[in-house]
Amino acid sequence: MRQSRIKWHIVVFLAPAVLVYTAIMIVPLFNTLRLSLFTEVDQERVYVGLENFRTLFGDQRWSDSFWNALGNNFWFFFIHMLVQNPIGILLAAILSNPRLRFSAIYRTAIFVPTILSFVIVGFAWKLILSPIWGIAPGMMDAVGLGDFFQPWLGLEETSLTTLALISVWQFVGIPMMLIYAALLSIPDEILEAGECDGLTGFSAFWKIKLPLILPSIGIISILTFVGNFNAFDLIYAAQGALAGPNYSTDILGTFMYRTFFGFQLQLGDPHMGSAIASAMFGIILIGVCFYLFAIQSRMRRYQF
């Protein structure tokens, strides 16, 4: 008898979370995918199949913007992987030394940028790099590099890289903390065993610690990937919705925002916006699947 009865308390415990999550997250997600198959004709919603995607990839004006945004997004991600993660690993490796004093203070201070909002970060750097205020040129002059100063955020060639580096500055605390935690969890016996075999110092890090923290590096990479491919705030705060100069800092998030809401003379188009959102969904899904099946399943995990 007990088996067949519905256990109401389980339903009560699960219901609120499942309802909110389903109604606000899952349903809109699929609704957005569905909306990308429609368009508006004379204020009525018409089903057009994959027409929006044909426009997005086939129409020169749309596809140029899309590939530009996608390419910029990959460059944005590439800079993060190349700069953010190595710096994070280096700082974590130094901090994980048990004899180091004040490590809690360093940790707390280096994490500060991560808690600031994109608006603060974007404007603060914009002011600092601004040729009008002259903090950056002034400081570069002081060390004799004054001639190298350029208005980096204002130049097409450098603005995207500059913004990526600002974002790296903001988020370096996260890889640092996660790697730091991974390094602390390596038992001393393993390091001592390595020492008996003559592995100390840098080679101990390279041959023992680094292989052991690879799973953490994998997690950080996928978190960075997902974060970068739905990034929007920093670009919007620093360069506006037009992602200037001349769209050189346009990434998928800003492209979708402009398409969805419209800007200047172009009207907003929720259906094309949904098509771009669907493309973003696809890219993130491919990335996550690649991580789960190709990387995570092959990675050896060590139990201590």
Phi, psi torsion values for 240, nearest 5 degrees: 80, 175
CA distances from 268 to 23, 61, 89, 158, 259 (A): 25, 16, 43, 29, 6
Count CA atoms closer than 13 A to 263's CA, side-chain side: 13
Is position 94 an interface residue for other proteins (rule: CB under 8 A)?
Answer: yes
Please give the sequence-ordered ranges of beta strands (E in DSSP) within 2-109, or none if there are none.
38-41, 44-47
Amino acid at 17: A
Give the range of 50-58, 73-81, 98-106, 153-161 binding other proteins by CB under 8 A: 98-106
| DSSP-assigned beta bridge partners for residue 77 | none
For other proteins, the closer CB: 82 or 139: 139
Choosing from 46, 109, 193, 286, the residue that interacts with other proteins (CB under 8 A) is 109
Give the range of 50-58, 70-78, 104-112, 143-151 binding other proteins by CB under 8 A: 104-112
Choosing from 112, 145, 294, 299, the residue that interacts with other proteins (CB under 8 A) is 112
Site for other proteins in 173-232 (CB under 8 A): 174, 177-178, 180-181, 184-185, 200-202, 204-205, 219, 222, 226, 230, 232
Give the range of 46-54, 56-64, 74-82, 167-175 binding other proteins by CB under 8 A: 167-175
For other proteins, the closer CB: 160 or 272: 272
For other proteins, the closer CB: 157 or 294: 294
Is position 118 an interface residue for other proteins (rule: CB under 8 A)?
Answer: yes
**DSSP per residue, 122-172:** HHHHHHHH-TTT-HHHHHHHHTT-GGG---GGGSTTTHHHHHHHHHHHHHT
Is position 120 an interface residue for other proteins (rule: CB under 8 A)?
Answer: yes
Is position 270 an interface residue for other proteins (rule: CB under 8 A)?
Answer: yes
Question: Which DSSP symbol is given to 268?
Answer: P
User: Does a cis peptide bond (omega within 30 degrees of 0) precede residue 137?
Assistant: no
